[in-house]
Chains A and B, each alone.
Chain A
């Protein structure tokens, strides 16, 4: 919270050094790419990145170009957490055998990172295994709510009502996505790991504080990061940060952290309360700047269901935080 209070001057206190650098091939307005800058500024150089196949992998590594100034490995789509398990175990045993970084005292943080498809769908087993084993690493799921790299197909993180290329709006099926978004953070909390947090690059200081915490934790930590994708959400490229703010303020993606099972809601609690009590206005601002929700304008019944679900989720989260 302190960083937030530093206000407009806080940005000047951040490290100038870019460890995720310019020259990558992300789309205009890509929020996940911005997120990588924030994450690496928070961790510094003592980081090993294990990247799942996905947007951030392909845009940063078309040989011979490399946007990373930290060691980086990409193996496949569904296994970033398993690769990270191996990296973490390898470092630990080589340290014990005095054959790795014996000249360094800093902790080398190991980060597994994947998109929502690579994490919540195809990568869930590998992640669950890594969490259950108590792997000393942190995992980032950057959630842009569909398979963006392959062309905006639905995943289990796609929200109810969103139109994607595999949950299209049609005459027979006018709703788009017809299932509720998987509660990923709760799945991680259920593993009883030391640290789980949600974050959003629209709140950089909150995000970076959480990254520092996740990297420092002994044992597994998970960050569920809401990362708007203007290309896939069919909106203007300059709207990513704004949409992240609106998602948090409307209660669509509350920012909270769970330390050893204890919940704390971090930001914009008042705004969320206001929105949830009278959600129509805030939620509409969030939804209707995005082409993927355009068809919902006339779907009052579905909108009511979405509002009700939002209210329920918020009530549940608040109850956990107040416990």
Chain B
């Protein structure tokens, strides 16, 4: 978009910059954003693209993330393709408005650069911010590298704006370890992306020619039905998401799935990961496989709607799964992914043992060796049947 990208060629670029470029390629109409580390490069670069005249869009620098999401709601409600990006405290400040954006069924796309929540204040990678927004009713997708950020950003507009979905969508990437890393990526021709997406056609908009009411009072006689409709829409979105990914694969050549598998053939133990550390974990899997261990990996790409059936299917027949969460649910029953996977399996007649490890908090590095050690320790718990509810790894004593 800015003339820096050459479609079809592999280029080295910071992932944040790449996301801004691809958002511009998607022909967004409106952006409202407030700066917060480590999201800043995305919105800075978008404002630059708009200022240079390479994208015809309204870039609104607002006075808080709460107002950013509020402005996005107004923008989307008049029928504008709308984007924002945030992190951590910013996402937490938006919390109230996230429910309202999804409740009003407005297909806003948001990049969430996952970062730890205060206190203590910490600007580094951690998924505690997004996990606190699990129940906000948005489609939530995780990525593992720059190429996936490009691809999923494109898909997110397509998913969100599909009239069968009409729900806001979050694309997650790990703070710094993805957002600030220069990676090799391939861009697609702008015309091809715009053809894939089409022009946003809202189901309803604020239009004086046909006055409609957005956000009325939901009295007890209607609130439950309204929530049911939201639940059904988000559950049903999975089929549309998979359809979009299939079409994306056909047009652009890369296939995605709600739950992705790696080295699972004949695996007795599976490591389950979400987000950017998944690639590091894959190296650990490779090493253990080379040493003859029957281990494989599941990567959760789709977090909301939770792909319960796909998770059950992927875990059927294994002895146990070791789930790695980059988020601590303080004094709860485990990390968010581990507890949800357990819940999805609970009523299965035969179910694998689930071991939950939590680590990588606030930017703490998790190495290939750490994953290897977790897998070995997890296998021990599974074989002996003495797994704790959850275990925080990498704590300095």
Q: Chain A interface (Cβ within 8 Å of chain B)? A: 45-48, 50, 57-58, 61-64, 66, 68-76, 78-79, 82-94, 96-97, 99-101, 104, 108, 125-126, 128-129, 132-133
CB-defined contacts of B100 to chain A, threshold 8 Å: 75-76
Select the residue from A70, A79, A133 with max chain B CB neighbours within 10 A: A79
Looking at the assembled complex, report how far the CB atom of A114 sits from the nearest CB atom of chain B, in whole angstroms: 12
**Contact of A100 with B78 at beta-carbon distance under 8 Å, contacts A76-B70, A89-B30, A90-B29 already known:** yes
Q: Is the interface of A mostly helix, strand, loop or mixed?
A: mixed
Docked CA distance A49–B209 (Å): 14
B218:A87 contact, CB within 8 angstroms? no
Q: B208 near A: Cβ within 8 Å?
A: yes
CB-defined contacts of A50 to chain B, threshold 8 Å: 74
What are the 9 tightest A-B residue pairs by CB atom distance, in nearest-first order?
Answer: A86-B74, A129-B63, A86-B71, A82-B70, A90-B78, A82-B67, A61-B216, A79-B70, A74-B215
Q: B213 near A: Cβ within 8 Å?
A: yes
Known contacts A85-B67, A93-B29, then 18 further A-B pairs from the complex at CB < 8 Å, ordered by chain A residue: A61-B216, A64-B222, A66-B216, A71-B207, A71-B214, A73-B104, A74-B216, A82-B67, A82-B74, A83-B70, A85-B71, A86-B76, A86-B77, A87-B74, A90-B58, A93-B80, A94-B79, A126-B67
Q: Which of A75, A89, A96 contacts B56 (CB 8 A)?
A: A96
What are 18 of the A-B contact pairs (CB < 8 Å)? A48-B78, A48-B208, A62-B217, A74-B216, A79-B97, A82-B67, A83-B70, A86-B76, A86-B82, A87-B78, A90-B78, A90-B80, A94-B79, A100-B78, A125-B64, A126-B64, A128-B63, A129-B64
CB-defined contacts of B210 to chain A, threshold 8 Å: 71
Question: What 1/0 flags go to B206-248 for Cβ under 8 Å of A?
Answer: 1111111111111100100000000000000000000000000
Which residue from chain B places its CB closest to the CB of A94 in the assembled complex? Answer: B80
Select the residue from B74, B79, B214 with max chain A CB neighbours within 10 A: B74
B215:A86 contact, CB within 8 angstroms? no
Q: Which of B96, B97, B208 contacts A71 (CB 8 A)?
A: B208
CB-defined contacts of A73 to chain B, threshold 8 Å: 73-74, 77, 104, 206, 213-215
Q: B49 near A: Cβ within 8 Å?
A: no
User: In chain B, residues 22-77, which have Cβ atoms closer than 8 Å to a Cβ of chain A?
Assistant: 29-30, 32, 56-58, 60-64, 66-67, 70-77
Q: Chain B interface (Cβ within 8 Å of chain A)? A: 29-30, 32, 56-58, 60-64, 66-67, 70-80, 82, 96-97, 100, 104, 199, 206-219, 222
Looking at the assembled complex, report how far the CB atom of B204 sits from the nearest CB atom of chain A, in whole angstroms: 10
